[in-house]
């Protein structure tokens, strides 16, 4: 099965997640969701696969979240999904789909839980935090 990442290249978390996927020896299908929005049906399917309420996929920072009043609990999942379809920037990222599951990968190392193949080498995030050691093992931080 192909690994798919709904990616924003301007986002450090998304870039780190993509790099971790590649560090497992796999080149994923990359969907830059701001250029190719998933559409309502696909977004509904992704949210269902993650087992999250739609609100959990909303991004607040750097989006029209506040001006649209999305912090109000009156909005249904369907309405929130409609907002994400109308304003793809509201969709938090990255979302990764593998044979092992679908996940919002924040922090980026959350992707390790759904990658079917192990890491093949050392990995350090852009901010300098080491995530994978030279043997390909996850480094646990306290």
Catalytic residues: 11
In whole angstroms, give the CA distance from residue 32 to residue 51: 22
Q: Residue length, the chain? A: 142
């Amino acid at each position: 099965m192909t690994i798919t990442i709904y990616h924003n290249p301007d986002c450090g978390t998304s870039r780190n997640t993509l790099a971790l996927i590649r560090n497992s020896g796999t080149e994923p299908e990359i969907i830059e969701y701001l250029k190719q929005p998933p559409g309502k049906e696909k977004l509904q399917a992704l949210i269902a696969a993650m087992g999250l309420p739609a609100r959990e996929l909303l991004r607040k920072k750097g989006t029209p979240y506040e001006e649209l009043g999305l912090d109000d609990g009156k909005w249904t999942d369907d309405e929130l999904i409609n907002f994400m379809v109308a304003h793809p920037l509201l969709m938090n990222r990255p979302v990764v789909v593998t044979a092992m599951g679908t996940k919002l990968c924040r922090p980026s190392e959350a992707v390790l839980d759904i990658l079917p193949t192990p890491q093949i080498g050392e990995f350090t995030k852009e901010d300098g935090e080491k995530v994978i050691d030279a043997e390909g093992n996850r480094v646990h931080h306290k």
